[in-house]
């Protein structure tokens, strides 16, 4: 039997320690490399932070499995047992260029079910967390359940690049939605964008391609306050696979899906 209360205390301690290390690193020189293309960045801090968590988890929970963006975790083929899904720095481009608007994201799944989710906005010192069935919190203050909002009063987050010619979506599909909503925003960190949905600061978020570590924690957080988390076709997400992401307030999510995305 897993002692979830103890897991929760450990994750919080580790996240705070990692956050401090990252903040302290701002005065040091960064080692920046590129991954799939010249805008896909990774730094020594992404790698060091992932290694930090993996060492802590492996020495404390020998039978738990770990999936991490930077590849120091395990090769997973299923979600049996307890699995930690970790993005050590979500929003690396922001980390490199802005030294803000990035987060540590950790989702913990038990037999495919999200149990604990953490998104830590390192610079603003805001810890969003959720415990399945017990609600979502921002710095330990409970977040209220989300309410529906009309499309024309909503603020949606999406990257402006999806409004240009790209291989994943026809910008003509998104244009009527972007025209109708009150405003659009782009923060450059899927985890922060999902935390903002949970906190009611954003009403919906669309991304064409994300990985499990981008949404593993955010899904648990948003569902705890009654938000809806699917891919762009309205299907459930598989926390083992890359996919598109569409999250939103209850009611609003279904209307955008039916009236704009499913055309
Ligand atoms: P990352 O910073 O951890 O890589 C940027 O809009 C968001 O998309 C971030 O959450 C970023 O996570 C994520 N993302 C996923 N795949 C990406 C890629 N190939 N290149 C850049 N950002 C990516
Ligand atoms: Ca990355
Ligand atoms: Ca990420
Ligand atoms: Ca990352």
From 47, 89, 91, 212, mutation site for ligand 1 pocket: most ligand atoms within 8 A of C-beta: 91
92 lines ligand 1 (CB under 6 A): yes
222 shares its domain with 205: yes
226 shares its domain with 157: yes
Comparing CA positions, the residue from 52, 85, 54 lying closest to residue 67 is 85
40 assigned binding-site residue = no
d(C-alpha 101, C-alpha 103), whole Å:
7
Last residue of a domain, one of 142, 161, 193: 142
Across the chain, which has 263 residues, the per-10-residue mean pLDDT values are 96 98 96 97 98 98 98 96 98 98 98 98 98 98 98 98 95 97 98 98 98 98 98 97 98 98 84
| CA-based radius of gyration for the chain | 18
Say whether pTM exceeds 0.95: yes
Residue 122 parent element (H or E): none
214 assigned binding-site residue = yes
Comparing CA positions, the residue from 163, 190, 185 lying closest to residue 245 is 190
d(C-alpha 162, C-alpha 149), whole Å:
24
Burial class (CB in 10 A: 0-12, 13-18, 19+), 77: exposed
CB 77 within 8 A of CB 188: no
Domain containing residue 39: CATH number? 3.30.540.10
165 shares its domain with 257: yes
19 shares its domain with 136: yes
d(C-alpha 251, C-alpha 245), whole Å:
17
Distance 8 CA to ligand 2 centre (A): 25
Last residue of a domain, one of 80, 110, 142: 142
- Domain span at residue 214 reads 151-261
Nearest atom of ligand 1 to the alpha carbon of 95: 2
68 shares its domain with 124: yes
Instruction: Supply the pLDDT for residue 93.
Output: 98
First to last CA, the chain: 47
According to DSSP, the β-strands at 126-131 and 103-110 are: unpaired
Domain count, the chain: 2
136 shares its domain with 170: no
Last residue of a domain, one of 142, 175, 198: 142
212 contacts: CB under 8 Å, gap ≥ 6: 67, 85, 239, 240, 241, 242
Q: Which two tokens stand for residue 156?
A: 């949606």
Instruction: Supply the pLDDT for residue 263.
Output: 66
110 shares its domain with 202: no
Residue nearest to atom 14 of ligand 1 (CA): 210
């Amino acid at each position: 039997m897993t002692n979830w209360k103890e897991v929760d205390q450990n994750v919080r301690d580790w996240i705070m320690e990692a956050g401090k290390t990252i903040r302290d690193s701002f005065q040091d020189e960064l080692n920046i490399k590129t991954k799939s293309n010249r805008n896909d960045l990774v730094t020594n801090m992404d790698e060091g932070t992932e290694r930090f968590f993996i060492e802590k988890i492996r020495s404390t929970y020998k039978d738990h499995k770990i999936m991490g963006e930077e590849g120091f975790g395990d090769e997973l083929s299923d979600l049996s047992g307890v699995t930690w899904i970790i993005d050590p720095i979500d929003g690396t481009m922001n980390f490199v260029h802005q030294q803000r608007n990035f987060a540590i994201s950790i989702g913990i799944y038990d037999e495919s079910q999200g149990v604990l989710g953490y998104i830590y906005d390192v610079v603003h010192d805001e810890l969003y967390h959720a415990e399945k069935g017990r609600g979502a919190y921002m710095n330990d203050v409970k977040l209220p359940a989300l309410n529906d909002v009309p499309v024309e009063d909503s603020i949606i987050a999406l990257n402006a690049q999806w409004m240009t010619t790209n291989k994943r979506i026809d910008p003509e599909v998104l244009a009527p939605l972007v025209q109708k909503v009150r405003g659009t925003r782009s923060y450059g960190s899927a985890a922060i964008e999902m935390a903002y949905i949970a906190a009611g600061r954003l009403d919906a978020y669309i991304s064409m391609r994300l990985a499990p570590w981008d949404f593993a924690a955010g899904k648990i957080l948003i569902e705890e306050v009654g938000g809806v988390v699917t891919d762009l076709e309205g299907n459930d997400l598989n926390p083992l696979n890359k996919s598109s992401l569409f999250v939103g307030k209850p009611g609003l999510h279904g209307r955008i899906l039916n009236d704009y995305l499913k055309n």
